[in-house]
């Protein structure tokens, strides 16, 4: 790994582990630290051109010899930008490949370090689209911000799911593994509204309607928007 990429990755790691979600940080600001939309667009050009990524993953990244990169089912990188960056940089040997097909370092191309970062940003963005266009209909960044405040405040969601939603008595809401709602906004909205009775609970734990709090309908919409956003 070249020294410039080491410095860049170290800087990204430092920001990633020190940063905490801030009120007002909506989907338009949800790119990984150090990634810009210009970098994403540059990565698309490398993916479709000098990087030769399309040879294995297809021109639309839906998969050929290599896996589909648009469906969120990650075999090696687990979906984070830094993990994807590592896979593009180092490749995947056949011994570690889940389908037995090796991926050479840098996809077998001679792309430079800036181009590696750009491809990783583009591949990350394929399943983590940002901006208001990627929000469910009716959901706004303001709703998500309001939902975050309710989650840790009067909604009392944090008493079961933890202040960062990583789970306590109730399950982790950030990992994309859903017990009941399956991750869709309307399903999450219904679950917050109706709760989960004992006979339907897959964990044996009961979730009361509206989390047991006295939330208005508008507040329920906001909490559901925030919970949806946590894993999207």
Question: The tokens of 175 are what?
Answer: 């990992």
Give tens-digit pLDDT for 169-209: 888 888 777 887 777 889 899 999 998 888 888 878 899 99
The residues pairing with 196 across neighbouring beta strands, listed in sequence order, are 207
Give tens-digit pLDDT for 125-175: 888 764 444 678 888 878 888 998 999 999 999 999 998 888 888 888 887
Q: What pLDDT, on a 0 to 100 scale, did the predictor assign at position 20?
A: 30
Query: Residue 158: enclosing H or E segment and its boundaries?
Result: helix 158-161
Comparing 5-19, 57-71, 87-101, the range with the smallest average pLDDT is: 5-19
Q: Give the DSSP letter of residue 210.
A: G
pLDDT value at 229 more than 70: yes
- Exposed, middle or buried, 34 (CB in 10 Å: 0-12/13-18/19+)? middle
Q: What pLDDT, on a 0 to 100 scale, did the predictor assign at position 129?
A: 62
Cα(66)–Cα(88) distance, rounded to whole angstroms?
13
Q: What pLDDT, on a 0 to 100 scale, did the predictor assign at position 134?
A: 65
C-alpha closest to that of 56 among 71, 69, 46: 69
What residues contact residue 232 under an 8 Å CB cut-off, 6+ apart? 128, 134, 183
pLDDT value at 5 more than 90: no
Question: The tokens of 65 are what?
Answer: 């010899």
Cα(182)–Cα(100) distance, rounded to whole angstroms?
30
Residue with more model confidence, 111 or 139: 111
pLDDT value at 47 more than 80: yes
User: E strands along 50-184, which residues?
Assistant: none
What residues contact residue 222 under an 8 Å CB cut-off, 6+ apart? 143, 144, 146, 147, 150
For residues 104 and 93, the answer to whether their CB atoms sit within 8 Å is no
| Residue whose structure tokens are 């011994």 | 95
Residue with more model confidence, 83 or 28: 83
Please measure the distance between the N-terminal and C-terminal CA atoms of the chain and give it in whole angstroms.
Answer: 31
């Amino acid at each position: 790994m070249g020294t410039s990429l080491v410095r860049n990755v170290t800087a990204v790691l430092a920001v990633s582990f020190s940063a905490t979600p801030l009120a007002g940080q909506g989907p338009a600001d949800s790119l990984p630290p150090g990634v810009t939309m210009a970098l994403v667009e540059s990565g698309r050009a490398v993916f479709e051109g000098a990087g030769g990524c399309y040879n294995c993953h297809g021109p639309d990244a839906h998969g050929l010899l290599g896996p589909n990169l648009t469906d969120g089912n990650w075999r090696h990188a687990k979906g984070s930008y830094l993990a994807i960056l590592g896979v593009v940089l180092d490749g995947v040997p056949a011994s570690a490949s889940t389908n037995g097909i090796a991926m050479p370092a840098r996809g077998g191309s001679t792309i430079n370090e800036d181009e590696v970062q750009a491809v990783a940003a583009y591949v990350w963005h394929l399943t983590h689209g940002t901006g208001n266009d990627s929000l469910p209909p009716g959901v706004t960044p303001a709703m998500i911000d309001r939902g975050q405040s309710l989650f840790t405040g009067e909604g009392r969601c944090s008493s079961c799911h933890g202040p960062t939603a990583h789970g306590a008595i109730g399950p982790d809401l950030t990992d994309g593994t859903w017990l009941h709602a399956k991750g869709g906004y309307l399903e999450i909205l219904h679950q917050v509204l109706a709760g989960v009775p004992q006979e339907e609970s897959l964990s044996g734990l009961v979730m009361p309607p509206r989390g047991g709090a006295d939330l208005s309908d508008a507040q329920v919409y906001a909490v559901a928007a925030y919970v949806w956003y946590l894993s999207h």
